[in-house]
Amino acid sequence: MSLFVKVKQKVEGFDLDVDFEAPTGATVLFGASGSGKTTLINAVAGLSRGSVGRVAVDDWVLQDSAAGIWLPPHKRRLGYVFQEGRLFPHMSVKQNLAYGQRFAPKDGAVSELDKVVHMLGIEPLLGRRPGMLSGGEKQRVAIGRALLARPRLILADEPLAALDEARKAEIMPYFERLRDEADVPILYVSHSMGEVARLATTVVALERGRVSRVGPAAEVLGDPGFTPAGVRAVGAVLEARVVAHHEDGLSELDAGGNPLFLPRISQRIGTLMRVRIAAHDVILSREEPKGLSALNMMAGEIDAVRAGDGPGAIVSVKTNAGPVLARVTRRSADALGLVPGVKCYAVVKTVSIAPEDVGGR
Amino acid sequence: MTDWLGPEEWAAVALSLKVAFWATLGALGPGIFVAYALARWSFPGKQLVNGLVHLPLILPPVATGYLLLMAFGTQGGFGSFLKELGIVFAFRWTGAALAAAVMAFPLLVRAVRLSIEAVDPKLEQAASTLGASRIWVFLTVTMPLILPGILAGAVLAFAKAMGEFGATITFVSNIPGQTRTLPSAIYSFLQVPGGETAALRLVMVSVFVAMAALLLSEFIGRYLARRVGGE
């Protein structure tokens, strides 16, 4: 399933003009606040009028100004998860969940509510009212409500932004499951590189209403020139498969032939994971390092070096596991002669990889 | 209770209750619609509509009554047309109900409009993304959330309708058993020597009805607020 979005809209002096196409999976709209993410997702939802262009999921056309088509939001078959949950305060959790069901086409699937409730672990909440729920619980119910509307397109506008770190870690896996299991494209708005790294199949970076970058997540995040959230947020994403859980509390993954040791994760052996390696946690060495405490070493070849305005530079190293980004000082880069084509080793401390950097595929 | 009140007094109380009931009921639908339009839509002439709705609140009631008489009297524009259809307002209890409804309308609209404005439009948006059409959004989200406001408005309107005097007496006069409502009856009793005790009894009835309406609305309002506030 592909998502086609081509939208032009002028709102209050702001000028949105985007055009992209994304394959199945999660498309993350990424950008600073004011870049037009919410304007765009609301245009896709049909919540704001006056947008010109074409929005479609495969051949299901939501709007096409050339053909004079504009479906109102309630006919777009959406599942929209908002930042603030937006649960109906006068209904119980169960009534909230069932709200979208009554408008969705009824083709069997009576047990769907039970299935979704079970998946989200919200059985104990069913009889309560939203006023009595915590932030994380509200978002889980909101996800369930969106799913039960049997959407053809799932929209999420910074659904984790209002939650603390622990709650974010609790909700993120549900979006990963949706991406991997549901047969529905997801358009997800975020300003967090961490969320992009864990969730995105496709990254669409927005800057002042324009698409500044679009492409598969690994490619976009592995580009040393892509620093929309500042150099501190730069980090490549590697795919790795769990191969062993060791007794000393480490999990061993295989990333393109390179062993990768992480603090113990709960996933079963054989699971394909995504691991985000922050660029500032990577050390580069021209020779094979010996006598280092760091456990992870990947040999590769320098692909690109991008010097920033400050004292730092971002070096992209092509390894068997994919591109790894390292943020080093320009001084080191000059001293070591780090230029494209040079062979080197990327070194990553195991303990610098936090649990929130590791997600399902 | 019938022993305690004379037949004439009882007739006035019953008539007032009937008039106020139908006035409130009749004003409710258009009142909610106008309140919604004023709260949520922007359309040309919105300020004019707003002004017209509030006119009876500011105008001397007698003037409103006279305008009603001109419009809905049997000689009036609407009146003669409605007479063809067999509907007559002038000098009937239905006219008293119409006058009360018009006078109570701005109070109802104000209360409902305030409560609609307090409903987060984001909730209505959420409902529409879940597949609810505008009507459904209104019935399942907006309406339940503004129920306390509707109730408050209805009680206000009922109380106003019970007490309406100037427009009623101008429009439909003061015919015993037909258009002599509670306030008209109190006024009439005060005009005749020895009518003070009857007037006093009716005043007490007014106090009782007003208090009962207030307490009832308070009770229902609390119940609804508890439901919406969530537990």
Nearest residue on chain B to A129, alpha-carbon basis: B230
> For A323-347, what is the mean pLDDT?
90
Answer yes or no: do B132 and A129 touch at CB < 8 A.
no
User: For B37-92, how does the pLDDT look when each residue is reduced to its tens digit (9 = 90+)?
Assistant: 999 888 999 999 999 999 999 999 999 999 998 888 877 777 777 777 777 787 88
Total count of residues recorded for chain B:
231
* CB proximity B140 to A under 8 Å: yes
In this predicted model, which residue has the larger pLDDT, A182 or B169? Answer: B169
A·B CB contacts under 8 A: 78
Q: What is the pLDDT of residue A310?
A: 79
Do strands A3-11 and A14-22 pair parallel, antiparallel, or not at all (unpaired)?
Answer: antiparallel
Give the pair of three-digit tokens for residue A180.
């991997």
With 0-12 / 13-18 / 19 or more C-beta atoms within 10 angstroms meaning exposed / middle / buried, residue B8 is middle
Short-list A160, A202, A279, A186, CA closest to A30: A202
In this predicted model, which residue has the larger pLDDT, B83 or A239? Answer: A239
Nearest CA-CA distance, residue B99 and chain A, Å = 36
In A124-163, the residues whose Cβ lies within 8 Å of chain B are 128-132, 145-146, 149, 155
Residues contacting residue A315 through CB under 8 Å, at least 6 positions apart: A224, A284, A302, A304, A305, A306, A325, A326, A327, A328, A333, A338
* CB proximity A53 to B under 8 Å: no
Short-list A90, A182, A191, A201, CA closest to A144: A182
Residue A153 has pLDDT above 90, yes or no: yes
Residue B162 has pLDDT above 80, yes or no: yes
Confidence at A110, pLDDT banded by 50, 70, 90: low
Beta-carbon-side half-sphere exposure of residue A58 (alpha carbons within 13 Å):
8
Short-list A92, A90, A129, A94, CA closest to B145: A90
Give the pair of three-digit tokens for residue B134.
């505008």
Q: What is the pLDDT of residue B73?
A: 81
Cα diameter, chain B? 69
The yes/no answer on whether domain A3-230 falls in CATH 3.30.420.40 is no
Facing A103 at nearest CB: one of B122, B123, B130: B130
Facing A149 at nearest CB: one of B131, B137, B231: B131
Question: How far is residue A315's CA from residue A334's CA, in Å, rounded to a whole number?
Answer: 12
Residue A361 has pLDDT above 80, yes or no: no
Answer yes or no: do A130 and B228 touch at CB < 8 A.
no
Question: How far is residue A29's CA from residue A206's CA, in Å, rounded to a whole number?
Answer: 7
Q: In the beta sheet, which residues pair with residue A154?
A: A79, A186
Which amino acid would we find at residue A258?
N
In this predicted model, which residue has the larger pLDDT, B214 or A360? Answer: B214
Confidence at B22, pLDDT banded by 50, 70, 90: very high
For chain A, give every domain's residue range: 3-230, 235-360
- What CATH number belongs to B7-229? 1.10.3720.10
Facing B132 at nearest CB: one of A90, A103, A128: A103
Confidence at A245, pLDDT banded by 50, 70, 90: very high
Nearest CA-CA distance, residue A168 and chain B, Å = 22
Residue A271 has pLDDT above 80, yes or no: yes
Q: Which of B9-36 are b and which e, b meaning 16 or more Cβ less than 10 Å from the residue's Cβ?
A: bbbbbebbbebbebbbebbbeebbebbb
Q: What is the pLDDT of residue B229?
A: 59
Answer yes or no: do A145 and B130 touch at CB < 8 A.
yes
Question: How far is residue A15's CA from residue A296's CA, in Å, rounded to a whole number?
Answer: 46
Range from A308-322, B27-41, B67-81 that averages highest in pLDDT = B27-41
Report ipTM (2 d.p.): 0.81
Nearest CA-CA distance, residue B36 and chain A, Å = 19
What stretch of H or E contains A217? helix A217-221
Facing A132 at nearest CB: one of B129, B130, B230: B230
Average pLDDT, chain A: 88
> For B122-132, what is the mean pLDDT?
94
User: For A21-70, how does the pLDDT look when each residue is reduced to its tens digit (9 = 90+)?
Assistant: 999 899 999 988 888 898 999 999 999 888 889 999 988 999 999 999 99
Confidence at B231, pLDDT banded by 50, 70, 90: very low
Do strands A235-245 and A69-70 pair parallel, antiparallel, or not at all (unpaired)?
Answer: unpaired
Question: How far is residue B26's CA from residue B16's CA, in Å, rounded to a whole number?
Answer: 15
Q: What is the pLDDT of residue B71?
A: 87
Confidence at A19, pLDDT banded by 50, 70, 90: very high
Residue A309 has pLDDT above 90, yes or no: no
**Three-state DSSP class for residue B230:** coil
Residue A307 has pLDDT above 90, yes or no: no
**Three-state DSSP class for residue A167:** helix
Confidence at A306, pLDDT banded by 50, 70, 90: confident
Confidence at B23, pLDDT banded by 50, 70, 90: very high
In A100-119, the residues whose Cβ lies within 8 Å of chain B are 100, 102-104
In B210-229, the residues whose Cβ lies within 8 Å of chain A are 227-229
Residue B1 has pLDDT above 70, yes or no: no
Q: What is the pLDDT of residue B112?
A: 94
Answer yes or no: do B130 and A74 touch at CB < 8 A.
yes
* CB proximity A82 to B under 8 Å: yes
> For B95-114, what is the mean pLDDT?
93
> For B93-102, what is the mean pLDDT?
92
Q: What is the pLDDT of residue B195?
A: 87
Nearest CA-CA distance, residue A230 and chain B, Å = 32
Residues contacting residue A126 through CB under 8 Å, at least 6 positions apart: A92, A93, A94, A97, A117
Nearest residue on chain A to B131, alpha-carbon basis: A74
> For B27-36, what is the mean pLDDT?
95
* CB proximity B150 to A under 8 Å: no
Pick A235-360's CATH classification: 3.40.640.10, 2.40.50.100, 3.40.50.300, 1.20.140.10: 2.40.50.100
Residues contacting residue A350 through CB under 8 Å, at least 6 positions apart: A250, A261, A262, A263, A294, A295, A296
Nearest residue on chain A to B141, alpha-carbon basis: A88
Residue A108 has pLDDT above 80, yes or no: no
Nearest residue on chain A to B135, alpha-carbon basis: A74
* Edge-first strand listing for the sheet containing A272-278: A258-263, A250-255, A235-245, A272-278, A358-360
Record the pTM: 0.81
Q: What is the pLDDT of residue A182?
A: 79
Residue B31 has pLDDT above 70, yes or no: yes
Residue B118 has pLDDT above 50, yes or no: yes
Confidence at B152, pLDDT banded by 50, 70, 90: confident
Short-list A346, A231, A349, A247, CA closest to A294: A349
Which residues in chain B have their CB less than 8 angstroms from residue A104's CB? Answer: 131
> For A118-127, what is the mean pLDDT?
90
> For A315-324, what is the mean pLDDT?
89
Answer yes or no: do B230 and A82 touch at CB < 8 A.
no
